[in-house]
Amino acid sequence: MPHLFPDTVSYNRFVELMQAASLPMAIFLKTCCLGEGTGISFADSTPIRVCKNKRIKRNRVFKGIAQVGKSTMGYFFGFKLHLVINDKGELLNFVITQGNVDDREPLKSKKFVNQLKGKLYADKGDISKELTELLFMDGLHLITNIRNNMKNTLMELKDKIMLRKRSVIETVNDELKNMCQIEHSRHRCFGNFITNLISRLIAYCFFPKKPAIKYDAVQTTQIALF
């Protein structure tokens, strides 16, 4: 359809011009695409690999920018995408860090969690007494599973059930990687890496159907339900 796009540039020029769209798309994502807090939030991080491990020393595009990190799947070279979603599967906030940054660091930033209230469910990697107290002062209750070497603690039944529903954010990460393709090894520069990542997050926000938790609240005056 060249008659519809008479001013189409070449592929190389298009790749060069992509970087100019990073800031407008980031503003659009932050102001128009993110969801609203519902009192139930899930936090997690996922690695963004920029190359295979055997090519780390030969990688020039991200030399001095990306770092070697470790996840549950082993070591990787690249970045981390930290996400917070609500129970509807909508993105509430995100941040991109280097691969060697602790998962708890973004949660310590008030800019990352300033709009969250209620309960935040995270994995064992976010266990921290200092972080829990810091978030609690801002009206956010951090709830995580305990490690095997920790003493058992009392927890409400509904919180135990919601921790089992943390798989919803794992599904979001899976859709971002497999459907939106936020992770690949064909980047030519760091600027285009950011542009591609932001554009794919915007694409996910416009998905008509997102992974969500379905539950029905029952209000009753009975002491127990049978």
> pLDDT for 41-90, tens place per residue?
898 889 999 988 898 888 888 988 999 998 888 899 999 999 999 888 99
Tell me the C-alpha distance between 83 and 93, whole Å: 6
> Rounded to 5 degrees, what angle do the CA atoms 48, 49, 50 make?
115
- Residue 136 and residue 158 in contact, taking contact as beta carbons nearer than 8 Å: no
Other C-beta atoms lying within 10 Å of the C-beta of residue 5: 8
Chain-centroid distance of CA 100 in Å reads 16
Both tokens of 119, joined, read: 């309960």
Mean pLDDT of the chain: 84
Both tokens of 122, joined, read: 């995270």
Q: Which of 111, 78, 77 is nearest to 94 (CA)?
A: 111
pLDDT value for 220: 65
pLDDT value for 80: 93
Domain annotation for the chain: domains and CATH numbers: 35-146+162-189 (3.30.420.10)
| DSSP structural state of residue 208 | S
In the chain, the amino acid numbered 147 is R
Both tokens of 6, joined, read: 């008479």
Higher pLDDT, 220 or 163: 163
Render the burial of 43-68: b for 16+ CB within 10 Å, e for the rest: bbbbbbbbbeeeebeebebbeeebbe
Other C-beta atoms lying within 10 Å of the C-beta of residue 70: 11
| Tens digits of residue pLDDT in 179-208 | 999 998 888 888 889 999 999 999 999 999
pTM of structure: 0.84
